[in-house]
């Protein structure tokens, strides 16, 4: 019934997203370059750099990155486990950077370095189609190289690059798009609902559009096929509010390629066939804006690390859907990244394509508190915008059965005073045995024992369970959300509710309520932290790091006690989580109804003087 309702609700968009009748190549831009960054746009960018210092700094940095590639050797076809994704990504970064640097400067050294990478990888036996992401990212490298450098390549060089695209990328087009369901198991992405769909479709689309006038039948097949396939992932990934189920790290990956696909269609053909109207896609810039904390880290649920930086697709979205606050944020983040480079981002050159232009127009500040629906139900709270010491709380609910998910229902991250106090540890090594298979939930970092959530009786969360947010409120002085965790621990209790509240924009209350609990059942509420933890007594802890202080106290029940231990996994093969401490509030159920309440208070000159603990009220009465 749910599927039928979704189809009925979004039927107008599904129809709009299908290729129009007629020739999809009727609007094909003649000649090259036509992918993403035309000569007209390049001229405008060069002119803008003369009046915008940030644009000039960006161009300078791209050239400097290209300079660094002169002493490097092309990648080799080496597999790590089952994939060669790092080789594909490295090649893509080099081609993008050097091709852009050549276009900005006309320095032939950069042209030669890009060609060197292309010719070396063209000689690979294949681009590892058993792990099709490898093919997709290499395909984008070749499409950009062929298109952006086309007029500076000899006929023989063009033929060499084209032959590689035809043999190692587009040879899969018919099997992928020529039937209702691919029989080649390597092409499962065509029907998938996750980032593989977005990345792999974009890779094949890139090569087909680069060769469209030479191979029009193949290009028509791929354009029609990709435009049929992409909505499957887009509807699953962005509806209804733009929140990405796989977390912010995979938002960068999947959305980055999704934006590239749309932008390539528009620049090469003049139409995206309705893809940008996918439900929730116009909201995902808001999600990206809200998911970043004042400490320049992300609320990194699922298989994602907390690091986050300037992302060109964010600028594209902020501009396309007119989100002024996001545009301002993109510009400031890019400014920081150029001034203090810390990441090796293969897509960095695309900032020159989608540059966050300055705007003097005032904009309405974003909401301090937001709730996102969908497979990843989230609530995000903060005490202020544009304050590096602001309090930031991210709360995770939703579903456990989405791609890259952890057993993290009810978990949270907390930042205040410019540091992170409560961590999500992120992913472990993907090459651990059966990391994405039957062993997944045995690993510490993927199960709930390493997350800042409630665990009754030492149980693991049910991998197919869902925890809806059942209440949410936002007022000037306080805000809250309540999630129903009952189905996460089947049979553990009659009901399990977890509430998080920001009190007076300066403290956080974590409150759990359980009914029909067996007497004596052990209950643990965890906080994983990189701070130094000192137990003042059994019910009070002081956390210190970087000269900042956070106090944590158990408000209820009376028998609650803190315990401290290293956040060690059960096996030596896993990440040892050096420097991470698990602060556990341990409770034994003494009656069928149990309330556990923890109060977290930043202390210092940035915060109000410590006030008495708030009076506890049942979650049903939170307003």
Q: Tell me phi and psi for residue 559, to 5 degrees.
A: -90, 5
Spatial separation of the C-alpha atoms in residues 251 and 233, rounded to whole Å: 12
What separation in angstroms does the CA of 592 have from each of 492, 493, 496, 619? 11, 9, 12, 17
Q: Exposure pattern of 90-102 as b/e (b: 16+ CB <10 Å)?
A: bbbbbbbbbbbbb
Given 3-state DSSP classes, what are the helix, strand and coil percentages for the chain, each rounded to the nearest 5? Answer: 40, 20, 40
Number of domains present in the structure of the chain? 1
Q: Report if residue 336 sits inside a domain.
A: no
Q: Report if residue 584 sits inside a domain.
A: yes
pLDDT of residue 296: 84
Which residues form the domain of 384? 369-606
Average pLDDT on 615-621 reads: 97
pLDDT of residue 2: 40
pLDDT of residue 21: 59
Q: Report if residue 480 sits inside a domain.
A: yes
pLDDT of residue 19: 52
Contact between residue 269 and residue 210 where contact means Cβ atoms under 8 Å apart: no
Q: Report if residue 413 sits inside a domain.
A: yes
Determine which of 10-19, 51-60, 145-154 has the lowest per-residue pLDDT on average.
10-19
Q: Report if residue 25 sits inside a domain.
A: no
**List of residues 6+ apart from 224 with CB closer than 8 A:** 19, 24, 177
Give which of 286, 287, 481 is closest to 381, Cα–Cα. Answer: 481
Query: Mean pLDDT of all residues in the chain?
Result: 95
Spatial separation of the C-alpha atoms in residues 588 and 523, rounded to whole Å: 6
pLDDT of residue 251: 97
pLDDT tens digits along 18-47: 555 589 999 999 999 999 999 999 999 999
Q: Report if residue 530 sits inside a domain.
A: yes
Percent of the chain with pLDDT over 90: 92
pLDDT band at 340 (very low <50, low <70, confident <90, very high): confident
pLDDT of residue 339: 87
Q: Report if residue 321 sits inside a domain.
A: no
Average pLDDT on 83-88 reads: 97
Compute the Cα dihedral for 409, 411, 412, 413 and give only its sign: negative
pLDDT tens digits along 532-551: 999 999 999 999 999 999 99
pLDDT tens digits along 433-483: 999 999 999 999 999 999 999 999 999 999 999 999 999 999 999 999 999
pLDDT tens digits along 572-611: 999 999 999 999 999 999 999 999 999 999 999 999 988 8
pLDDT tens digits along 94-135: 999 999 999 999 999 999 999 999 999 999 999 999 999 999
Average pLDDT on 319-337 reads: 94
pLDDT tens digits along 371-420: 999 999 999 999 999 999 999 999 999 999 999 999 999 999 999 999 99
Spatial separation of the C-alpha atoms in residues 354 and 350, rounded to whole Å: 6
Contact between residue 555 and residue 616 where contact means Cβ atoms under 8 Å apart: yes
Task: Name the one residue in this structure whose structure tokens are 């050159």.
Answer: 349
Predicted model pTM = 0.95
pLDDT of residue 7: 40
Q: Report if residue 574 sits inside a domain.
A: yes
pLDDT band at 359 (very low <50, low <70, confident <90, very high): confident
- Which segments of 308-449 does DSSP mark as H helices, in order? 312-320, 324-339
pLDDT of residue 9: 42
CATH assignment of the domain containing 471: 2.70.98.70
pLDDT of residue 16: 42
**List of residues 6+ apart from 430 with CB closer than 8 A:** 81, 436
Between helix 248-268 and helix 132-148 the angle, nearest 10°, is 40
């Amino acid at each position: 019934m749910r599927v039928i309702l979704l189809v009925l609700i979004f039927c107008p968009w599904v129809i709009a997203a299908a290729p129009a009748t007629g020739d999809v190549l009727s609007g094909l831009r003649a000649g090259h370059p036509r992918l993403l960054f035309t000569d007209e746009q390049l001229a405008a960018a060069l002119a803008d750099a003369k009046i915008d210092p940030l644009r000039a700094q960006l161009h300078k940095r791209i050239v400097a990155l290209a300079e660094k590639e002169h002493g490097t050797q092309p990648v080799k076809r080496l597999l790590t486990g089952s994939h060669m994704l790092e080789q594909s990504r490295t090649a893509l970064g080099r081609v993008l950077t050097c091709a852009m640097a050549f276009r900005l400067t006309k320095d032939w050294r950069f042209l030669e370095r890009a060609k060197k990478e292309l010719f070396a990888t063209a000689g690979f036996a294949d681009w590892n189609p058993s792990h099709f992401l490898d093919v997709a990212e290499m395909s984008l490298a070749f499409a950009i190289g062929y298109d952006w450098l086309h007029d500076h390549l000899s006929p023989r060089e063009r033929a060499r690059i084209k032959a590689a695209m035809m043999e190692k990328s587009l040879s899969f087009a018919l099997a992928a798009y020529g039937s209702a369901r691919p029989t080649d198991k390597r092409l499962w992405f065509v029907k998938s609902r996750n980032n593989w769909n977005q990345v792999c479709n974009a890779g094949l689309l890139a090569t087909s559009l680069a060769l469209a006038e030479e191979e029009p039948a193949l290009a028509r097949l791929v354009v029609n096929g990709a435009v049929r396939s992409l909505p499957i992932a887009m509807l699953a990934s962005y509806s209804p509010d733009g929140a990405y189920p796989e977390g912010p790290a995979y938002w960068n990956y999947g959305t980055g390629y999704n934006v590239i696909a749309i932008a390539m269609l528009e620049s090469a053909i003049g139409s995206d066939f309705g893809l940008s109207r996918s439900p929730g896609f116009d909201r995902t810039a808001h999600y990206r804006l809200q998911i970043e904390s004042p400490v320049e880290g992300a609320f990194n649920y699922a298989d994602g690390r907390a690091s986050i930086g300037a992302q060109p697709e964010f600028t594209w979205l902020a501009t396309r859907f007119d989100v002024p606050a996001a545009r301002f944020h993109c510009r400031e983040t890019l400014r920081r990244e150029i001034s203090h480079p810390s990441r090796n981002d293969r897509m960095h050159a695309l900032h020159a394509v989608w540059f966050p232009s300055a705007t003097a127009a005032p904009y309405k500040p974003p909401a301090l508190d937001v709730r996102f629906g969908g497979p990843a139900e989230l609530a995000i709270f903060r005490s202020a915008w544009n304050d590096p010491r602001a309090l930031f709380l991210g709360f995770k609910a939703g579903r456990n059965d989405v791609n890259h998910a952890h057993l993290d229902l009810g978990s949270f991250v907390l930042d205040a005073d410019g540091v992170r106090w409560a961590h999500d540890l992120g992913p472990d090594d993907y090459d651990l045995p059966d990391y994405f298979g039957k062993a997944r939930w045995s690993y510490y970092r993927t199960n709930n024992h390493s997350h800042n959530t409630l665990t009754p009786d030492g149980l693991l969360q049910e991998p197919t369970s869902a925890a809806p947010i059942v209440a949410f409120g936002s007022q000037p002085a306080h805000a809250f959300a309540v999630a129903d965790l009952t189905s996460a621990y089947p049979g553990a209790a009659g009901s399990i509710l977890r509430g998080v509240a920001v009190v007076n924009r300066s403290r956080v209350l974590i409150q759990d309520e359980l009914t029909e609990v067996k007497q004596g059942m052990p209950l643990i509420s965890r906080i994983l932290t990189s701070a130094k933890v000192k137990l003042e007594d059994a019910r009070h802890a002081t956390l210190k790091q970087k000269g900042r202080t956070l106090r944590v106290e158990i408000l209820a029940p009376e028998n609650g006690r803190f315990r401290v231990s290293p956040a060690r996994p059960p096996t030596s093969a896993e990440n040892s989580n050096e420097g991470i401490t698990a602060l556990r509030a341990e409770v034994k159920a003494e009656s069928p109804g149990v309330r556990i309440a923890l109060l977290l208070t930043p202390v210092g000159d940035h915060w109000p003087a410590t006030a008495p603990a708030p009076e506890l009220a049942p979650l049903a009465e939170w307003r």
